[in-house]
């Protein structure tokens, strides 16, 4: 029995090896009995060995995240069919569609609802995003934040300024100049995640293309 709903058809996905190395990105374009068939209309797919175990990270704006593990049954430059599919439990959301970036932006802290802070007193601070996924991001800033503190950050995606609400989950200070924070997204809309997913998906495809070009 296929361990995934038919509603995931046309959902974007990434294919990784069991060491979590990204092999390709694609979309689910067909269900064949108990197998998944994927394709990428923008690029050729790598040809993988038959029976190679792979991990499939799938995102759907309505159904959420899904992680499967399976084996390559058929692999061509146009399509890939993956069989022996099983759900992969205990997978961390923050690992989905992770992308190394360098994005300059601004943010401001979000005061608790019972705070008496006046909206006019909002102070913006500079942020550099160095790592982003569908679950959150890692930032560098001179601002001092605390675990659990929430802030808003504006990211320009496809010439649209999108505001994401974030929560600080961990602190990583590697130097005396900038503070590093691992943050999760909080209460953001489906539209925000759809744009973010599209952005990450396209950037991953560009990185894969550059990597292939350097190998030849």
State whether 136 and 152 are in the same domain: yes
How far apart (Å, rounded) are the C-alpha atoms in residues 25 and 16? Answer: 9
Q: Does 198 fall in a domain?
A: yes
Please check whether residues 123 and 188 belong to one and the same domain. yes
From the CB of residue 150, how many other CB atoms can be counted at a distance below 10 Å? Answer: 16
> Are both 57 and 111 inside the same structural domain?
no
Burial (CB < 10 A; 0-12, 13-18, 19+), residue 64, is: exposed
pLDDT value of residue 116? 58
pLDDT confidence of residue 90: 45
Q: For position 43, what pLDDT does the model report?
A: 82
What residues make up the domain containing 154? Answer: 99-202
- Token pair 């010439």 is found at 159
C-alpha distance from residue 204 to each of 1, 23, 24, 75, 102 (Å): 31, 10, 8, 20, 14
Of the residues 91, 119, 144, which one is the last residue of a structural domain? 91
Judge whether 57 and 201 are in contact, CB under 8 Å. Answer: no
Same domain, 61 and 103: no
pLDDT of residue 216: 60
- In this predicted structure, what is the pLDDT of residue 95? 55
Residue 111 sits in the same domain as residue 194: yes
Q: Do 109 and 78 have their domain in common? A: no
Residue ending a domain, among 48, 70, 91, is 91
The one-digit pLDDT tens for each residue of the chain (216 residues) are 788 888 999 999 999 998 888 899 999 999 998 999 999 887 889 999 999 999 998 888 778 778 899 999 999 999 999 999 998 764 445 456 778 899 999 999 998 765 555 555 788 999 999 999 888 999 999 999 999 999 999 999 888 899 999 999 999 987 778 999 999 998 777 778 778 888 887 888 787 777 777 766
DSSP 55-123: EEEEEETTTEEEEEEEEEEEE-SSEEEEEEEEE--S--GGGTT-EEEEEEEEEEE---TT----GGG--
Number of domains composing the chain: 2
Task: Say if residue 136 is in the same domain as residue 188.
Answer: yes
Residues 114 and 188 in one domain: yes
Domain boundary among 91, 124, 145: 91
Task: Identify whether residues 196 and 108 lie together within a single domain.
Answer: yes
What predicted TM-score, i.e. pTM, was given to this entire model? 0.67
Residue 35 counted as domain residue: yes
- Which CATH number is 66's domain given? 2.40.10
Q: 62 with 122, same domain?
A: no
Using CB atoms within 10 Å of the CB of residue 115, give its burial: 0 to 12 exposed, 13 to 18 middle, 19+ buried: exposed
């Amino acid at each position: 029995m296929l361990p995934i709903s038919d509603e995931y058809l046309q959902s974007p996905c990434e294919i990784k090896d069991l060491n979590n190395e990204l092999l390709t990105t694609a979309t689910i374009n067909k269900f064949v009995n108990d197998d998944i068939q994927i394709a990428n209309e923008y690029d050729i797919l790598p040809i993988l060995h038959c029976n190679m175990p792979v991990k499939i990270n799938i995102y759907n704006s309505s159904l959420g995240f899904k992680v499967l593990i399976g084996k390559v049954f058929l692999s061509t430059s146009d399509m890939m069919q993956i069989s022996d599919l099983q759900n992969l439990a205990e997978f961390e959301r923050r690992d989905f569609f992770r992308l190394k970036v360098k994005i300059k932006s601004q943010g401001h802290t979000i005061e608790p609802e019972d705070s008496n802070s006046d909206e006019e007193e909002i102070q913006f601070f500079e942020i550099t995003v160095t790592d982003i996924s569908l679950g959150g991001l890692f930032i560098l800033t001179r601002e001092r934040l605390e675990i659990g503190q929430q802030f808003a950050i504006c990211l320009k995606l496809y010439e649209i300024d999108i505001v994401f609400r974030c929560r600080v989950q961990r602190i990583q200070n590697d130097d005396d100049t900038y503070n590093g924070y691992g943050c999760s997204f909080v209460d953001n809309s489906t539209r925000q995640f759809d744009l973010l997913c599209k952005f990450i998906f396209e950037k991953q495809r560009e990185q894969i293309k550059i990597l292939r070009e350097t190998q030849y």
